[in-house]
Each structure stands twice: as C-alpha cells, then as structure tokens.
Structure 1
Amino acid sequence: MKLRLTLFWLSCLFATHLYATELGKVTAEQLLSMQHNNNALVVDVRTAQEWQSTGVIANSQKLESFDGNGHFDQEKWLANLEKLKSSPDQTVILVCRSGNRSGKIGQILTEQLGMKNVYHLSNGIQSWIKDGHPVKADCLTTACK
C-alpha cells in the first residue's frame, strides 16, 4: 500500500512537471523567423524614453510594463496585451532593454498564469542592435509599422 501511495505522489509530481509552462528565450534571428512564419506578436515592454532613445523593432507593439516606481499593474497590462493579440494562443515575444524585465514578465505569464507560447528576446534590444538588426524610429503611437 505504501508503495502504491508513493508511486501515486511521484506520478503527480512528474505530471505537473510535464505540463508546466516555461518561458522560452529567443535570439534575434529566431524572433524574426517567428514573427514572419508564425505571426508572433512582438511586444516591447520598455519605457517611452527607451523607445525614443533606441527605436523599436519593426512591427512590434509597445506596451510599457513597470511604472517609474517599479510597479507592475498585472491586470491592466494583461488586458492591454489581450487587445493586441489576434488569437488567444498567438505566440508572444517580449522585448526589453537587456532581457531582465521581459524575463520577469514572461515568468509571470507562464508560471503564474499558465500562458503558453511566451518567449522573450535573449539580452533584449541591446543584442538586437549589437547583431546589426534595424530598428525603426519611435513613432509615438502604440505600433510602428
């Protein structure tokens, strides 16, 4: 009986691990491929000042994440994200300056909310620019196309 109970609990733990959603990291090249081939939604979570400073990835959507005090209004941000998505299961790729903020938001989406198909650009817009990929000047709207 103890063996059965032990096996039951082990199978529960293993099953939970199998179905856990994880945040994926993508390179600049993978982002471009996913954006073109999979209709991935690229969401830039930086601040307006950062968008102005470096520009944005073409066809990305701008959706500020943390306010000046470092607070993340999860409910409001998620509502705005849902408005940007073309389908509930659309792939989402988050972009920030270095990969830190996008990683934190991505973990909230995947680990706490169970969202699938969520990625973030490894090392952020800095790696994008360093790899020689173009940026568009910030056009002061929610999307630069």
Structure 2
Amino acid sequence: MLPTISPRRAFEMLKNGEARLVDIRETAEYAENFIPGARLVPLSIAKIYPLKDADAPDKPVIFFCRSGNRTDKASDLLRSLAGDAEAWQMEGGLSGWQKEGLPVQHEKAPFPLFRQIQIGAGALVLLGILGSYVWHPMYWLSAFVGAGLVFAGVTGFCGLGLLLARMPWNKK
C-alpha cells in the first residue's frame, strides 16, 4: 500500500520540482478538469506506460485519481510502476485537491460517448412508445433499440456509438 500525502504537501512538492504528479483517471475525466503540471497515465494503460522521466528518473511520484479510491485499490500496481522512486497516493484525489483551493484547469468537454449513447437510446425507446399511440407499429422502434442494446452488450460493438462518434460535436 502506498503511503498518503496531503494535497497541500503534493502542491508544494510539485511547485518546487521535487515530485511528479501522475493522474490515473481516464482521458474523458481528464478532459473535463485537471491539475496543471500533472501527467496523465490512465490506469487502464498504466502497466505499459513508462513513468520514468529522462531528466529525473528517481524523482518521487505522487499518484491520484478523482476521489482516491482507484489509487488506493491499485496501489500495489502503482508502487511497482514507480520502481525505485519514492511514491505516494494523494489523500482525497482531485476532489481533495479542489477542497484545498489548489489550482485546477477546467475545460469544456463534450458529453462522454457512453452518456450520448444512453441519451440517444433512451430517446428512441421513448419515441417508439409514445409514437405507438399515434401509429401502432411504431413500438417496433423500441424493440429494435432494445435488441441493439442487447447485441452491443454481448458483442462489444455498438452501431449507435459508432454513429454518435462521427457527429460534428465529437470532432476535435
């Protein structure tokens, strides 16, 4: 288990160049808000990502996530990724950092794709149910969307997700 460090102490160490701050949240979370100067290494790819800096390979590492739970659960993996460098987990994660009033950069990020799929699928099901009061065969729209969701869950491929990913608001 990684020892903990307060957000205020982590800020001081980062500001003085005494430590590296590593954000293990996923990219969609990072896109909404992040700590300036922290490096993003999503937990989902952390095993393959080198943490050593060429200019300071033994510089201590401070890991954090949104609330501290993911960091705590993955502390053994993160400890091994830090190698010989000293490593900590930041108390309270990004939420704790924000409670201390420390600097966070906010960005306007689009809805995550999964939420867009939920909104789109829910709207189509609702349209099918309400539309069936006007034109009875419209209920097939709800059945089609339900079947598509089951197919997506079983196969891991979502046609609605593919369609939404190509929408103009998801382009960089």
Is 1:121 the counterpart of 2:90? The answer is: yes
CA apart distance, 1:88: 2.6
CA apart distance, 1:138: 5.1
**3-state SS, counterpart of residue 59 of structure 1:** coil
Q: Which runs of 5+ in 2 are unaligned?
A: 110-172
| Segments ≥4 residues shifted beyond 6 Å | none
Aligned to 2:35: 57
**3-state SS, counterpart of residue 103 of structure 1:** helix
Calculate the aligned-residue CA RMSD, in Å. 2.7
Q: Which runs of 5+ in 1 are unaligned?
A: 1-21, 67-71, 141-145
| TM-score, with length taken from structure 1 | 0.62
CA apart distance, 1:48: 1.3
Contact kept, 8 Å, 2:8 with 2:100, in 1: the verdict is: no
CA–CA distance in 1 between the matches of 2:104 and 2:39? 13
Q: Give the aligned length.
A: 109
CA–CA distance in 2 between the matches of 1:52 and 1:124? 16
CA apart distance, 1:87: 2.3
Q: Within 5 A, what are the aligned runs for 1:128-139?
A: 128-137=97-106
CA–CA distance in 1 between the matches of 2:2 and 2:105? 27
Aligned to 1:29: 8
CA apart distance, 1:46: 0.4
Instruction: List per-residue Cα deviations over 1:1-60 (Å, max 9, x = no partner).
Output: xxxxxxxxxxxxxxxxxxxxx62211111101211335211011101111123x111111
Change (3 A) 1:37 1:113: closer
Is 1:45 the counterpart of 2:14? The answer is: no
- My pick for the range that moved more, 100-109 or 122-131, is 100-109
